[in-house]
Amino acid sequence: MEEIKYKIMQVMQARARQEETVMGGRYPFRMATWNIRVALEKEFPDMEWNCASLRKALAELERDGKVLKCPYQSRIGQAVWKLLAVSDA
């Protein structure tokens, strides 16, 4: 599970840095569960990704204080996750 959480954070932080470069500033970064899955499949094609295990890992990341389930953009069947901190590394 730790490896999955690490890879999720890696993908989300990379996308947040990319968005920061394109937009020219830091804005709250959000990503839907399905989009996280698609990014993980692209970045790590040798692993099997399913939304159930991602939701479980994202719930643990939420308890760790790294992401937050967005109450305004999430809906039934599709959660949107807000990245709380973007590393500069």
Question: pLDDT tens digit string along 1-30?
Answer: 889 999 999 999 999 999 999 988 888 899
**pLDDT score of 77 more than 70:** yes
Domain assignment of residue 64, yes or no: yes
In 3D, which of 33, 37, 41 has the Cα closest to residue 75?
33
Domain assignment of residue 89, yes or no: no
Domain assignment of residue 42, yes or no: yes
Domain assignment of residue 39, yes or no: yes
Q: Model's pTM, two decimal places? A: 0.87
β-pairing, 29-32 with 67-69? unpaired
Tens of pLDDT, residues 32-54: 999 999 999 999 999 999 888 99
Q: Which domain does 53 fall in, by range? A: 2-83
Domain assignment of residue 63, yes or no: yes
CATH code, domain carrying 42: 1.10.10.10
What total number of domains does the chain contain? 1
Domain assignment of residue 88, yes or no: no
Domain assignment of residue 22, yes or no: yes
Query: Counting beta carbons within 10 angstroms of the beta carbon of residue 48, is it exposed (0 to 12), middle (13 to 18) or buried (19 or more)?
Result: exposed
> Largest Cα–Cα distance in the chain?
34
Domain assignment of residue 53, yes or no: yes
**pLDDT score of 67 more than 60:** yes
> Is 8:33 a contact under the CB 8 Å cutoff?
no
**pLDDT score of 88 more than 60:** no
Q: Record the tokens describing residue 2, joined without a space.
A: 């730790």
51 or 89, greater pLDDT: 51
